[in-house]
Structure formats: structure tokens, C-alpha cells
Amino acid sequence: MPATSLNKATTNPQNNPVPAALISSPGDDQGLAGLIGQAPVMLRLRDQIRRVAPTEATVLIIGESGTGKEAVAQALHTLSRRVPGPFVAVNCGAIAPSLIEAELLGHEKGSFTGADRQRAGYFERANGGTIFLDEITEMPLEMQVKLLRVLEARRFQRVGGSETISADVRVLAATNRDIEAAVREGRFREDLMYRLAVFPLRVPSLRERDGDVPVLAQHFLDGLNAKEGSRKSFSRAYLRHLPLQQWPGNVRELKNAVSRAFILADDLLEPPTLPAAAAPRKPSLRDGHLQISIGTPLADAEREMILATLDHFSGDKRQTAQTLGVSLKTLYNRLEAYRSDAVGPDSASST
């Protein structure tokens, strides 16, 4: 997303200034244009990116969903010596386990049912550039072994092939999960974790970025105005109200909320215009602790606790029931009730 760089305050039609210092710094690298904000945690993140980007170090990007991990990966590529080469982003969680090797390393014609032609994999397509492996903790253990070999040998073979292909690729990986917990639970290889985390980068959640919420909201609104040829703006009350929200979905949730508000507003965006602003605060999970607002109905609190615990144990219902001190039958009954209410436990355990 392009950044707005101004040398004076940006003023909307209602004369609500947003200090330019909060939008960008005059010396910001163009490659960091997608990382907007001036909260101390963001300044530290950008400094770390500037330092590690020119190297060939493998980087593990850690952060909650919606914090902008792919934007960080894109910045690392843009500020690297590999910028003339391709940037290939791969969502490991979106590829079927049976196909992930063929997707990453490619395959030869006839190597399996449906392989009607030779196909280059993501590593081959990223040659000379950067490959970004998002949701790396969702990768099956069998593929983790093969990925480790690729990282160590810098060579691989397509599925069904015998030709050895060099992997001139810088690897970036990301996860929104506790990777050390995944190692302890046997879901992720410890040697691969260390191989990926040569330089770990943590992307802060939106609640840690003091002062950045109005800035990001204005940035998203500016983009919508430019796209639609409009001059909609935030009221002062709206800008005061935005930081009061928890934004558990982080930057992605804020962007979606501004988009909804933009659609509903005529000229001026007021707090009631934004559905998320008027809604009760959602429970948030941080560092293994579930935060639930005072006044939350007991049934809702119980549901959030069950789903959060199920998610923590990666969908293991038996372990979830034991931890919560309920029978497995009781847990299944609760989950079936939630499914009937369209709160599907399967979706909750996969986010």
C-alpha cells in the first residue's frame, strides 16, 4: 500500500488535522512505505528491517493475524539486493498436505495423477529473488524435513524428477502461532525452527501501537477517497473514538471497518456509522490469556473460553476437555450447539 508523505499536516474537508509526523518520516525508505505509523514499536521494527534486509539471513516473522506480516516480508525483499528478482508469497496453510511438495518444488509430467505437464514449483519461480512462506507452522512434518534439506543444501529435485535444481532463493517465513509451543507439541521440527529463525522479527499488534490507529484509519480513508473520487472524512468524535477499540483483528480489521464506514457514510464518518465501533468489545487472546469484558453473558464467556482452549490445543478435543475439567461428551455437546448457532468450532480452531 503506498504511503502518504507530507511535509505539513494533512487536513480533511472538516479541518481535522492529522500530524504529518505520524504518517511518515521524510527520510523513510521507499521500501518501508507499507509500514505506516510512528509508534515506538514500529520505529524499532523498521530499524530492524533496514538492518537485516541487505543481508542474506533467513528471517522468521512472528505476529498475530492481521498485523501486516506480508508487508514486512515485502519490505525485506524491496530493501534487499534481490529486489530485481521475484517476490513469491506462499500460504502454506492453504495448500493440501498431499500437494505441498509438488507446489513448492514442482513436478514432472506423469509424476502423479493429474500431473499432465511439467510444472515449476514456487522455489524455482522465486529463483534469484525471495520466497515468503506464510503460515509456516501449518506445513506437514514430512514436508518440513524436505524444506530443511532445501535450506541446507540449496538444491532440490522436482517430484518425479532426477534433475538437481539450484535454489538461489532467500527464504522468509511467518507464523501467527507460538512456534516454540508447536515444537514442544511435536507439530514443528526444532531444527527447522532454528534454521528459519536466524533473525526473528516480531510484528506488533495494533493495541501496542500507541497513536497509530487514527493515522492508519486516515491512510485507508485517503486511499478510498482517491479510488472513488470522493472527499469523505472523519469527524473529530470518530478520531477520538477509534483508539478506544481493541481491534483484535489488528490492521486488517481496522481497514475493513473503515471500508464499511466509507460505504455507509454520505460525507462525514461518525462513530455510529462504523459497526465495529458500536459493537461490544470482543474477547482477545494474548500470551495465552483470554481477556473478556465485564458484563459479558456467562454463556458467551464459556463459549469463548472453550473455543480459545480448543484453538490453543490445535483442535485436540480430548486435551481441551481435560484442561477445562469437563467430559468429552459435554465438550462435543457444546461444540454442536455452537455449530448450530453458526459459531463453527472448526473455523475457530483454524484461525
For 297-348, CATH number out of 1.10.10.60, 1.20.140.10, 3.40.50.11260, 1.10.1040.10 equals 1.10.10.60
pLDDT score, position 341: 52
pLDDT score, position 50: 95
Q: What is the pLDDT of residues 218-271, one digit of tens each?
A: 999 999 999 999 999 998 877 887 887 888 899 999 998 898 888 888 888 876
pLDDT score, position 20: 31
Q: Which CATH superfamily is domain 40-202 in?
A: P-loop containing nucleotide triphosphate hydrolases (3.40.50.300)
pLDDT score, position 325: 87
Q: What is the pLDDT along the chain (351 residues), one digit of tens a residue?
A: 333 332 223 333 333 333 332 333 333 457 888 899 999 999 999 999 999 999 999 999 999 999 999 999 999 999 999 999 999 999 998 898 888 999 999 988 877 777 778 889 999 999 999 999 999 999 999 999 999 999 999 999 999 888 899 989 999 999 999 999 999 999 999 999 999 999 999 999 999 998 899 999 999 999 999 999 999 999 887 788 788 788 889 999 999 889 888 888 888 887 644 444 334 444 555 556 777 776 677 777 888 888 888 877 777 788 888 888 888 778 877 877 766 553 333 333 333
With CA atoms as reference, report the closest residue to 123 among 174, 72, 86.
86
Domain parsing of the chain, residue ranges:
40-202, 209-278, 297-348
Angle at 185 between CA 179 and CA 189, to 5 degrees: 60
Q: Write down the architecture of domain 209-278 according to CATH.
A: Orthogonal Bundle (1.10)
Q: Measure the CA–CA gap between 115 and 331, rounded to whole angstroms.
A: 43
Asked if 210 and 39 count as a contact pair (C-beta separation under 8 A), the reply is: yes
pLDDT score, position 285: 58
Q: What is the pLDDT of residues 23-51, one digit of tens each?
A: 333 334 578 888 999 999 999 999 999 99
DSSP structural state of residue 323: H
pTM for the structure as a whole: 0.69
pLDDT score, position 109: 84
As a three-state string, the secondary structure of 182-214 is HHHCCCCCHHHHHHHCCEEEECCCHHHCCCHHH
With CA atoms as reference, report the closest residue to 173 among 98, 70, 87.
70
Q: 85, exposed or middle or buried, with CB in 10 Å at 0-12, 13-18, 19+? A: middle
Contacts (Cβ under 8 Å, ≥6 apart) of 267: 13, 231, 232, 233
pLDDT score, position 29: 57
With CA atoms as reference, report the closest residue to 267 among 240, 242, 235.
235
Q: What are 250's three cell numbers? A: 489488528
